[in-house]
Every structure is written in structure tokens, then in C-alpha cells.
């Protein structure tokens, strides 16, 4: 039987232990910790089970608390139109996610920041490696090359060839953009290309002629310009078509009593009546009919001889103007004097003769007009020196019975041309008007 004192001590000890245990369970720290755990667990569960249609702002606001309570990061919510952020650890080998390894993950807003302010980047597929290739040479005979910007390092795009309305395919194919000439020359050619695209061949001819005369145009480009201009002039000058606004030609209506020579004089042409027959393709000079339409080429025309290149270039323009303002027409291959004997200088056409006789100034041998051995052929254009070249006499441009000599130095100093070329030159140049410049 326990003594009263013992029972009292035991009872007090038990109450004291219960009191301490109760105090521990109800302490403020324990209550706060438990509340945090419950709230975190509830927030994480709500985040996982939240419907996809819930407002984005509410879901995003619950995300930070859920992340703190979770032992592993929760999966990222994917919305339509946004890239999937993939890390090397998450990306499965061979999956489509490989194409998005360069994408920037969706930025998460700070707590309380509305999700509508998020900025997402559009995913870009990984670039396909490109094998460097050596650029192909620019084809300077094309009309559709884009203008070259000398300050640009970008490649040059080549487009399919086009044909300008009103021009033959060959005339369009001969268009060029100089590749080694200066910007000034290129600007003239680009202006010509624009004019052709607008079906303005007269403006194109003027621009190309300026580029041809420019000292800033490379020699290779000059040759291509001559070819292109010759093609244009085959239509503008040597066809029966009259281009409106062309100062070199006009349309004429035949009236009673007309003849080609009479028309030439009446219209004050500097060209020969044979040119009227040529360009209008008349079978005979006597086949005119009243009311017939004829194209007349006015002129005047001039020639520039390039000795070193064995070439005669024909131009149109006023003899009082600088040659740089003339319009290029076409070129002829020529022969020069033996031992560099063709003189340099500025000359005018003094006279013209068809089927002339000739006396060799060295031997005195004479050749009649119809003599097949006459070395100067069927046409002669005598020259007279101008200015410092005034003392130079006895030279001219003529045909030859030795076509193989054209392109060589075999004459006595005169300029030789093939028979068909000297015939056309004869029809173009006018005595006492046309200028002939002979250059080295």
C-alpha cells in the first residue's frame, strides 16, 4: 500500500510530463511549421490538378510556392505557339527536340508579375551547313544582271534573260554591265538598261555612247558596248522603221516627179541616195510609187580610225560638236599603211568617187576605172587635213582587191576596207562635212 506522500509525488511527476508534452505540441514554432507544410502541399496539389483553362496569372502565382516544396522541378507548362525549352539532360536522342536546341526558354515572371508581359522567342531550326563554292565569273554579255554596288561584298544574282519589247532578242542579249569600269561608266550602262526596259531605245543609245566614249570604261567593256550599240542601230538606222523622236531619221511620202536623188536634195540629207534604196529595200531606184512611205536617214556621220586596233568606228552628230557628244553607229575592220605609214590627225572628207581610176604615186603606173587590177577597188573617199594636219595630203579611205590585207599594215598609208564596208561608208560620209580622225 503506497504511502500518501508517494502517491502525491508520482501523480505530480506524471502531470508534469503531460504538461511539458502538451506545451511542446502547442508551441508557436510547431504550429507555424505545420501550417507551412500544409499550405505548400496544398499549393503543389492545386498546381498539378489545376484545369488547363484556368487563368494563367493564377497558375503562375502558385508556381513559386510549389517549386519550393517539391524535391524535383515540376514539368513546364507548354502553351500553343511557344517553343519547348529543352536542356541536354531532357532532350531524348533522335527526337524532334533537336531542332530547338538553339531556342531561348520561356522566361518566368517575378512573383506577382502578370504572365501577359512575358516575352517568348520564336524557335529557329538549326541551320543546314553550307559548303562554300567559288563564285562563277560575271557574264558581261547579260542584260538582266542587277547593278553592282562596289561597296558590297554580297554575291551577284543572275536572272533569266529577258527580251525588251520592240527589240530583237539579240539586241537584248548583248546588254552588259561593265565589271571593271568605274562607277560613272556603270551608271551610264545602268541608265541604258532602264531605258531599254521602258522601251526607250534612243535614250539607251545615248547612254551607251556616253559610256563608250568615257575614258573610265575598260577596254573589254568598250568592245561589248560597241556590239550592243551596233545591234541597236541595225534597227534604229539601217532598217526601214522610223523611231519617233530620232533626230537621225524621218519618214517621207513620195509625190509625183520624185526620184531618190531629188528626195535627198529636197530634204537636205548628208547621206547618199543609195542609202535610201538600201534601208527601204528597194529593188530599183526607179521603182517609186506616189504615196509610198520611205525612211530617210539624215546624218551627218563621221569616222574615227583606230590604227592599233585596225578598226574604223562610225558616229553620228554635228561636226561642230565634240566627238564625245556623238552617237556611235557601227564599226568596220580596216587595213593600215605599211611600216606604220598611216598618218595621225584630224581630216575632213574632201571628195568621193565611185569606180575611180588611180595612179600609183611611187611608180606612176595608171589603172583605169574598170581595171580589175586597180588596187583601190570601187570606192574612194579623199581626205584633207585640218588644223595641224593641214599639210597632209594624198590619203584616203578606199576598198581593195586584196581582202586578206584588211587587218594588216600593207597599204601605202591609206585606210583599206572590205568592198561591202567601204560601200556603206561611202553612202554615210559627206564631202566637206564629215570628219575623219585617225588615232594611234
What is the rounded CA–CA span in Å between residue 226 and residue 48? Answer: 81
Question: What percent of the chain is modeled with pLDDT above 70?
Answer: 60
Query: What band does 181 get if pLDDT is binned at 50, 70 and 90?
Result: confident
- CA dist 226 and 123 (Å) reads 54
Q: Which pLDDT belongs to residue 319?
A: 95
* Percentage of the residues of the chain whose pLDDT score is greater than 90: 57
* Domain boundary assignment for the chain: 169-236, 249-297, 302-439
Provide the phi-psi class of 351: left if phi over 0, else alpha when psi is between -120 and 50, else beta.
beta
Q: Do domains 249-297 and 302-439 have the same CATH topology?
A: no
Do strands 435-439 and 301-306 pair parallel, antiparallel, or not at all (unpaired)? parallel
Lowest mean pLDDT among 163-172, 236-245, 365-374, 377-386: 163-172
Residue 174 neighbours by CB under 8 Å, 6+ apart: 141, 143, 224, 227, 228, 231
- 19-75 tens-digit pLDDT: 444 444 445 655 677 677 777 666 555 555 544 444 444 344 444 444 444 444 444
**179 — pLDDT class (breaks 50, 70, 90):** low
**Would you tell me which CATH number, out of the four given (2.60.40.10, 3.30.70.20, 2.40.440.10, 3.40.50.800), belongs to the domain 302-439?**
2.40.440.10
- Condensed to tens digits (0 to 9), the pLDDT of residues 246-267 reads 999 999 999 999 999 999 999 9
Asked if residue 233 has pLDDT above 80, the reply is yes
CA–CA distance, 362 with 351 (Å, rounded to integer): 22
Beta bridge partners of 384: 348
Question: What is the Cα–Cα distance from 223 to 111, expressed in whole angstroms?
Answer: 75
pLDDT over 50 at 90, yes or no: no
pLDDT digits (tens, 9 = 90+) for 163-177: 333 333 344 444 455
410 against 110, higher pLDDT: 410
pTM for the model: 0.61
- The CATH classification number of 249-297 equals 3.10.350.10
Nearest to 397 by CA among 359, 348, 363: 348
Give the single-character DSSP code of 185: H
100 pLDDT higher than 50: no
Least confident of 90-94, 319-323, 369-373: 90-94
Q: What is the pLDDT of residues 1-11, one digit of tens each?
A: 343 344 343 44
- CA torsion, points 31, 32, 37, 39, in degrees to nearest 10? 110
Q: Who has greater pLDDT, 333 or 81?
A: 333
Q: How confident is the model at residue 160 (pLDDT cuts 50, 70, 90)?
A: very low
CB 383 within 8 A of CB 397: yes
Once rounded to an integer, what is the mean pLDDT over residues 126-145? 39
Digit-coded pLDDT (tens) for 278-292: 999 999 999 999 999
Amino acid at each position: 500500500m503506497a504511502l500518501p506522500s508517494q502517491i502525491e509525488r508520482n501523480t505530480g511527476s506524471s502531470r508534469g510530463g503531460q504538461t511539458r508534452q502538451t506545451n511542446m505540441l502547442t508551441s508557436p514554432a510547431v504550429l507555424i511549421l505545420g501550417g507551412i507544410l500544409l499550405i505548400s502541399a496544398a499549393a503543389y496539389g492545386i498546381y498539378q490538378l489545376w484545369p488547363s483553362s484556368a487563368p494563367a496569372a493564377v497558375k503562375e502565382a502558385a508556381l513559386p510556392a510549389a517549386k519550393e516544396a517539391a524535391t524535383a522541378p515540376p514539368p513546364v507548362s507548354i502553351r500553343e505557339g511557344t517553343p519547348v525549352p529543352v536542356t541536354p539532360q531532357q532532350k531524348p536522342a533522335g527526337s524532334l527536340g533537336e531542332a530547338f536546341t538553339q531556342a531561348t526558354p520561356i522566361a518566368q515572371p517575378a512573383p506577382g508579375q502578370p504572365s501577359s508581359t512575358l516575352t517568348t522567342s520564336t524557335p529557329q531550326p538549326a541551320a543546314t551547313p553550307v559548303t562554300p563554292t567559288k563564285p562563277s565569273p560575271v557574264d558581261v554579255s547579260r542584260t538582266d544582271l542587277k547593278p553592282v554596288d562596289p561597296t558590297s561584298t554580297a554575291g551577284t544574282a543572275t536572272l533569266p534573260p529577258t527580251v525588251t519589247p520592240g527589240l530583237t532578242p539579240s539586241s537584248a542579249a548583248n546588254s552588259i554591265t561593265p565589271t571593271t569600269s568605274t562607277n560613272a561608266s556603270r551608271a551610264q550602262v545602268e541608265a541604258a538598261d532602264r531605258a531599254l526596259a521602258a522601251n526607250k531605245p534612243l535614250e539607251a543609245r545615248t547612254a551607251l555612247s556616253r559610256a563608250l566614249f568615257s575614258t573610265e570604261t575598260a577596254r573589254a567593256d568598250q568592245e561589248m558596248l560597241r556590239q550592243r550599240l551596233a545591234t541597236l542601230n541595225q534597227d534604229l538606222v539601217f532598217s526601214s522603221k522610223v523611231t519617233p523622236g530620232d533626230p537621225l531619221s524621218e519618214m517621207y511620202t513620195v509625190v509625183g516627179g520624185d526620184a531618190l536623188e531629188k528626195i535627198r536634195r529636197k530634204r537636205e540629207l548628208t547621206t547618199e541616195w543609195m542609202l535610201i534604196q538600201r534601208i527601204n529595200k528597194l529593188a530599183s531606184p526607179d521603182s517609186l510609187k506616189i504615196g509610198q512611205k520611205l525612211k530617210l536617214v539624215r546624218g551627218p556621220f563621221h569616222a574615227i580610225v583606230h590604227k592599233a586596233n585596225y578598226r574604223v568606228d562610225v558616229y553620228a552628230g554635228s561636226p561642230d560638236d565634240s566627238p564625245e557628244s556623238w552617237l556611235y553607229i557601227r564599226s568596220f575592220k580596216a587595213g593600215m599603211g605599211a611600216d606604220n605609214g598611216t598618218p595621225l590627225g584630224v581630216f575632213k572628207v574632201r571628195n568621193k568617187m565611185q569606180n575611180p581610176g588611180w595612179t600609183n604615186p611611187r611608180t606612176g603606173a595608171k589603172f583605169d576605172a574598170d581595171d580589175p587590177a586597180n588596187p583601190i577597188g570601187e570606192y574612194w573617199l579623199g581626205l584633207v587635213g585640218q588644223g595641224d594636219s593641214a599639210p597632209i595630203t594624198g590619203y584616203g579611205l578606199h576598198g581593195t582587191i586584196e581582202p586578206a590585207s584588211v587587218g594588216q599594215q600593207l597599204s601605202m598609208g591609206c585606210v583599206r576596207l572590205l568592198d561591202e564596208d567601204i560601200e556603206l561608208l561611202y553612202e554615210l560620209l559627206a564631202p566637206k562635212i564629215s570628219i575623219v580622225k585617225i588615232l594611234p
